[in-house]
A and B are shown apart, each in its own frame.
Chain A
């Protein structure tokens, strides 16, 4: 099943490993910051509503 990469196995696997790793990192960081900002905005809006007596 696994293809025979011959003499270039290290190069091909390193390219795939580094690229997929970087893609996963940018997706996870973007999702984490998105979740954090949503929670922070909810908290600030709740504080604002409480201050204005809503």
Chain B
């Protein structure tokens, strides 16, 4: 058995459709547990007060905003190299979810920044690269809508995705590239494993990150199946004309 079997639209829908309610259910459970735990049962931070509770939304949303783009990048590369339609449609399906995650990260960041930094916004490297990533999401979605031929749209959006990946990388590593700006370092550095967040905050944060990750997965599977169906409708209607 090969992973490329799932590039068959029928096989993809048959495999993923029964999975979606389970993944969605587990993700919502994780989100409820993580957010209730974080909101009601964690203490205030000695410097940030109760605003530390925003971490349970801000960090997972920012993480998924960047990871969604990387998922789109991998799917786009598969499209460019192997021409599997499901991968191009998966990238298309992920974009609105990634865009929503970016908006959540930007909004919660601004709301958190106001009391802590004294400003809603600063042209800080991480914030600026995140704003550009958001604009790339909008551009990517607009390009899909603007081009009639779906193969051409998939080609052009894949190239846009490759270019936008620079900003996805910058969003993640900006605080390490430039020692300036207001944004703190990464809360959960994957490479070193050294956390700047105490366990009392980290464990519910981890549950929220799992919840956001699974929610993204459930929505991508559901939306990819929807895109596959939309493509099939288009093909059938063209054949019947």
Contact = CB atoms under 8 A, between A and B. Distances in A.
Contacts of B100: 22-23, 25-26
A38 B39 CA distance: 38
Contacts of B151: none
B50 A12 contact: yes
Nearest to A5: B50
Interface residues of B, number: 39
B230 interface: yes
- Secondary structure class of chain A's binding surface, majority of residues: helix
Contact of A19 (B44, B57, B229): B57
Interface in B215-236: 215, 219, 222-223, 225-226, 229-230, 232-233, 236
Given A1-B40, A26-B97, 12 more contacts: A9-B50, A11-B112, A15-B57, A15-B107, A19-B107, A22-B107, A23-B31, A27-B215, A27-B219, A30-B97, A37-B226, A40-B229
Interface of B: 24, 31, 35, 39-40, 44, 49-51, 53-54, 57-58, 61, 96-97, 100, 103-104, 107-108, 111-112, 114-115, 215, 219, 222-223, 225-226, 229-230, 232-233, 236-237, 239-240
Interface of A: 1-9, 11-12, 14-16, 18-20, 22-23, 25-27, 30-31, 33-34, 37-38, 40-41, 44-45, 47-48, 51
